[in-house]
Amino acid sequence: HRHLLGIEHLKPHEITAILDLADQYVDLNRRQVKHSDALAGLTQINMFFENSTRTQASFEIAGKRLGADVMNMAMQASSIKKGETLIDTALTLNAMHPDLLVVRHPHSGAVDLLAQKVNCAVLNAGDGTHEHPTQALLDALTIRRAKGRLHRLSIAICGDIAHSRVARSNIMLLGKMENRIRLIGPPTLMPAGIAEFGVEVFDDMREGLKDVDVVMMLRLQKERMDGGFIPSSREYYHRFGLDADKLSHAKEDAIVMHPGPMNRGVEIDGTLADDINRSVIQEQVEMGVAVRMAAMDLLARNLRARDRQEGVMV
Ligand code: CP
Is residue 299 within 8 A of residue 4, CB to CB? The reply is: yes
Measured in angstroms, how far is the CA atom of residue 305 from the centroid of ligand 1? Answer: 31
2 is in an annotated binding site: no
Please measure the distance between the N-terminal and C-terminal CA atoms of the chain and give it in whole angstroms.
19
* Neighbouring residues of 293: CB distance < 8 A, sequence distance ≥ 6: 22, 25, 33, 36, 38, 62, 65, 66
Ligand 1 is surrounded, with C-beta below 6 A, by 52-55, 126, 135, 259-261
State the pLDDT at residue 24.
97
pLDDT digit string, tens, across residues 104-151: 999 999 999 999 999 999 999 999 999 999 999 999 999 999 999 999
Q: Which amino acid is at 188?
A: T
Q: What is the pTM of this model?
A: 0.95
pLDDT digit string, tens, across residues 223-276: 777 766 677 889 999 999 999 999 999 999 999 999 999 999 999 999 999 999
Measured in angstroms, how far is the CA atom of residue 69 from the centroid of ligand 1? Answer: 23
Q: Which residue is closest in CA terms to ligand 1's atom 4?
A: 54
ipTM topping 0.95? yes
To test the pocket of ligand 1, the residue of 48, 53, 221 to mutate (highest count of ligand atoms within 8 Å of its CB) is 53
Measured in angstroms, how far is the CA atom of residue 314 from the centroid of ligand 1? Answer: 34
Q: Which residue is closest in CA terms to ligand 1's atom 6?
A: 52
